[in-house]
Structures are given as structure tokens and as C-alpha cells.
Amino acid sequence: MSRFLTSHAAALPSTVPFTGPEALERQTGVPFRARLGANESLFGPSPHAVAAMQEAAKGAWMYGDPENHDLKQALAAHHGVTPAHIAVGPGIDGLLGLVCRLVLEPGTKVVTSLGAYPTFNFHVAGYGGVLTRVPYRGDHEDPEALLEAARLTGARLIYLANPDNPMGSHHPAAVVEEMVANLPEASLLILDEAYADLAPPGTVPVIAADHPQVIRMRTFSKGYGLAGARVGYAITNPDLALAFDKIRDHFGMSRVAQAGALAALADQAWLQGVRERTVAARVRLAGIALANGLRPLPSATNFVTIDCGRDGDHARRVLAELAALGVFIRMPGVPPLDRCIRISLGDDQTLDILEECLPLALKAAG
């Protein structure tokens, strides 16, 4: 280990939250037939977004606008807020890191759910925060337990994803609104709404943009199909939004990504089409699971989590056997959630491959 690292950095594990499908393909030397593990949109981005990015690529010799002016204006109009309420960053993952850098010091208490999105924990550890993890209640994150843990620990930061990753579940808007109404005075809530564009009606809560204790996070990676462009944004009160400018990479958003996001946001008809295809794919994927004796969980996202009916070891065998057949999926990482596998939605051709391979994988897994 380099002698130049801080003692804290030296003590961190040399791992990342996810192993990408590319890394797995390099290890095996065999490309996946079906890429169904990263919660990407196999339906792709709007053709208008693709055209805008192709045109912007001609100017890739220039830095992107460091103020993200046009994108912030468009996002503000879309959400009915002011540009001062918007902070743009490299996906929700990047924004989570910025929030942790802004509010955490070594020893600062943080509350999340046991088994929830691990990238958040990765950033908390990187900045020396101390995590308290509360169990899920069934297949849902537990807002009441999160609040109670925050009160007991004096947590400065609370993380909740709605809809949830990795289980695909969601709480109605009223549940989240009740949670916001009861936030401890010392706590800031990160409300991760990565899948809000694909969620059922009544999922997105009404929260004042000026609320001093809430940061809502959105992304172009899911419904808009721009995961590779890395465009996320936060909606929060102007003081917090402005604080991002203190530490963010001001040239971190490329001109190509900015152009693609602007065009994608303008093409709401494409997003509506993706929603409709998502609903249809959920139904088909659930049917494939049921036909193989598995239990699909209700999904508010672009993936379906499937209960394999046994323990984590069995689910890991199923995952490994699918990988051997060329199907990339993932699964929750901790008990009891790890009894499940998680499969992204895809087009009919991709789901045909899954339908072919799943019974073979289950048989091989025993």
C-alpha cells in the first residue's frame, strides 16, 4: 500500500460496490448473450437524444458548460422549481459522493437500510461516516425504523430509495410524506428517486422544493435510457444546491451528455413509450418466473426481483448457472434479501433468451 495514503484511505477495502459485466466477460472470455443485471434500459434512449449527442460530439474538443445552464433551466421548468433548486452531477452515484463529502466528518452517524443500494455505503465509508443499517420490513425499506434509528443515533444523514433497489418495491407517496414530516431536526434525508419515472401513479411524494432537510435525486440512467452518459440531478433548497458548487467537478459534465439529457427531457413521448414497454415486460418476466415455480415480487422499477424460495446459497447458484449460460443478472447482497435474484427488464428477444436459460439454470442449481 502506498505510504502516501491517509490512514483512513489505507484502511478501506480495495473494492467497488459492483463488478461490471465487462469485467465478468474478461474473466471468462465469453460475452453475455443477455445483459440483464445492471438495471439499464434495454429500450434505449430517445432517437432525438442520440441525434443530439451525435451533433454535440463534433464539438467534443470543447469543455461542457461548467454551469450546466441550459439543462438546469429545462429541469427547473420540468419540475416546476427554479434553477437555483437544481444541482447537476455525474449520475446519482456521483451526487451521493458529493453529499457525503459535504456533510460527513469522521465519526458522523448515518442511517440506511440493511441491503439497500451499496454505493451509498461506499461513499459513507470513504468519508469516515458511521453506518447504522436497519432491516427491511418484508420486501420494503422501513421508514419508521429509519426514523427511529436516526433519533437514537443523532444521524446527520438518512438514505431512502423509493422505489427501492434491490427489491423493486415502493411506498405510496403518503408514506414518504409522513416520513419527511417527522424527520429529526438534526437529520438530512437523501430521497433516491432513480426509478420514479417508471413508478406507478401515486408513488412520487409532494415535498416543498425549499424543504431544508430533503435532497431528492433523479437520473437519466433509467427511464431515459442514458446510463452511459452519466447525468443525474438533485432537487433541493437553494442553499444546499449551491453548496454542491463548493466541491463538484465543474467540468465533470461533457457537452455530449448535456446535449443528450436536454433532448431526452424534451421527448416525453418517448419516455411514455418506455413506461408502456416497461409494464409489458414486467408482466412477461413475472410470467417466466411463475412458469418456473418462482415468486416474482411486485415491481415499480425497470427490473423484477424474484424470490427463489430457498436461501442465499441457492440463489447464488442460480445466478452462477445463468452466467454460465450467458445471462448476466445480479442479486441482493445480504440475508434475508439474498434469497432472491434480480433481473432487468428487456425487449422480447432478450427475454426469449432468459426464458430458454432459466429452467436450465434452476435444474443445474439443484
Instruction: Write the pLDDT tens digit of every residue in 107-134.
Output: 999 999 999 999 999 999 999 999 999 9
Q: Which pLDDT band holds residue 2 (cuts at 50, 70, 90)?
A: confident
Residue 311, number of CB atoms within 10 A of its CB = 12
Confidence of residue 16 (pLDDT cuts 50, 70, 90): confident
**What share of the chain has pLDDT > 90, as a percent?**
97
Q: In 3-state terms, what secondary structure has residue 51?
A: helix
Q: Look over the chain and give the mean of its residue pLDDT values, rounded to a whole number.
A: 97
Segment 94-105 shows an average pLDDT of 98
Region 332-350: mean pLDDT is 96
pLDDT above 70 covers a percentage of the chain that reads 100
pLDDT of res. 17: 81
In the chain the domains, ranked by start, together with CATH numbers, are: 18-44+269-365 (3.90.1150.10), 47-266 (3.40.640.10)
Residue 288 scores a pLDDT above 70: yes
pLDDT mean over 95-101: 98
DSSP secondary structure letters along 187-208? -EEEEE-TTGGGSPTT-S----
pLDDT tens digits, residue range 289-313? 999 999 999 999 999 999 999 999 9
For residues 200 and 170, the answer to whether their CB atoms sit within 8 Å is yes
pLDDT at 1 over 90: no
Predicted structure pTM score: 0.96
Question: CA geometry: angle at 118 spanning 113 and 119, to 5°?
Answer: 130
Residue that is written with C-alpha cell 447537476 in the block: 88
Per-residue model confidence as pLDDT tens digits over 67-77: 999 999 999 99
Using the structure block, give the residue that is written with the C-alpha cell 453475455.
Answer: 32
> pLDDT band for position 18 (50/70/90)?
confident
**Grid cell at residue 131:** 453506518
pLDDT tens digit sequence for 225-258: 999 999 999 999 999 999 999 999 999 999 999 9
Do 79 and 88 form a contact (C-beta atoms < 8 A)? no
Quick one: pLDDT at residue 332?
96
pLDDT at 14: 85
pLDDT in tens, 169-217: 999 999 999 999 999 999 999 999 999 999 999 999 999 999 999 999 9
The residue ranges of DSSP E strands in the chain, in sequence order, are 34-35, 86-89, 109-113, 130-134, 157-161, 188-192, 214-219, 232-235, 295-296, 303-307, 327-328, 340-344
